[in-house]
Amino acid sequence: MQTWSQKLKQLEWPFWIGFVFFIAVIGCCVHLMLSANDWLKDKNQLPIQYLVVEGDLTQVNHQMVLTALKPQMQSSFVGLDVNAAQASVENLDWVYWAAIRKEWPNTIKVNLVEQKAKAKWNDDFLLNHLGEVFKADASLLANALPNLHGPDDEASSVLKHYEDFSALLALHDMKAVKLTITDRHSVQITLDNGIELKLGRENWLARIKRFLEFYPRLAKQHQIQYVDLRYDTGFAVGELKQKATITG
């Protein structure tokens, strides 16, 4: 008759055999998964063959995007890092936003939104429609941009002031081509006819209205170089190649 210890020993063998078999199965599964992963990431197995660029584009083209994505395109379709690819495209000049998606089995689609330049900023940069500063080649633009100057951290505010002034001037068929706001918030505007408006530090819109009220009469009497509106009442007119005269 078998003792309890003999019975336990008989039970241990099936347990250990099952345990070893279980571990072997797990090991095989892991090996297969790693092998499949390596295979999928092998660019020779699932290469990226097509790049589709979508969006309303004028400054960015397919070749620029392809060049930017060249390091990522060396990967396989599965191995492509979408986040890294997106960052590479968004580093391109004129790209405001990019979205990248994979289309099985071999195509990458890139949807782009370009920067919309509204003005030049402090000579070396541009402002988009939100007043955000970006760097790009302004010479590629078909239309000339106004030149805005101001404190580095007030770009959006300067653009907003320019748009307000422009809306008022447009009612009288005038256009501002340059706006400068100093660190002390003193404003000077240059119009497309070359006239400079010195507005000072306050009441800017009221002072522009004062200029517009008197401009038809001034244009008949003077060859205007600048109009200094930094007075509570009246203004000073500087004539081309002549000394300033006071009008009030």
What is the DSSP secondary structure assignment for residue 131, as one 8-state letter? S
Say if CB 235 and CB 210 are below 8 A apart.
yes
| Residue 183, token pair as written in the block | 């660190």
Distances (CA, A) of 128 to 64, 86, 125, 164: 21, 20, 10, 16
The structural domains of the chain, with segments of one domain joined by +, span 50-114, 119-247
31 vs 201, residue with greater confidence: 201
How far apart CA 192 and CA 89 sit, in angstroms, is: 37
Distances (CA, A) of 65 to 90, 202, 213: 10, 47, 52
Q: What pLDDT is attached to residue 40?
A: 46
Fold of 119-247: Rossmann fold (3.40.50)
* Segment (H or E) for 210: helix 204-221
Average pLDDT of the residues of the chain: 85
How far apart CA 225 and CA 194 sit, in angstroms, is: 7
pLDDT tens digits for range 125-164: 999 999 999 999 988 888 899 999 999 999 999 999 999 9
pLDDT tens digits for range 38-72: 544 445 567 888 999 999 999 999 999 999 999 88
Percent of the chain with pLDDT over 70: 79
Superfamily for domain range 50-114: membrane protein fhac (3.10.20.310)
Say if CB 70 and CB 51 are below 8 A apart.
no
How far apart CA 141 and CA 120 sit, in angstroms, is: 11
Residue 248 CA, distance from chain mean position = 47
30 vs 203, residue with greater confidence: 203
Residue 107 burial (10 A CB sphere; 0-12, 13-18, 19+): middle
How far apart CA 206 and CA 187 sit, in angstroms, is: 13
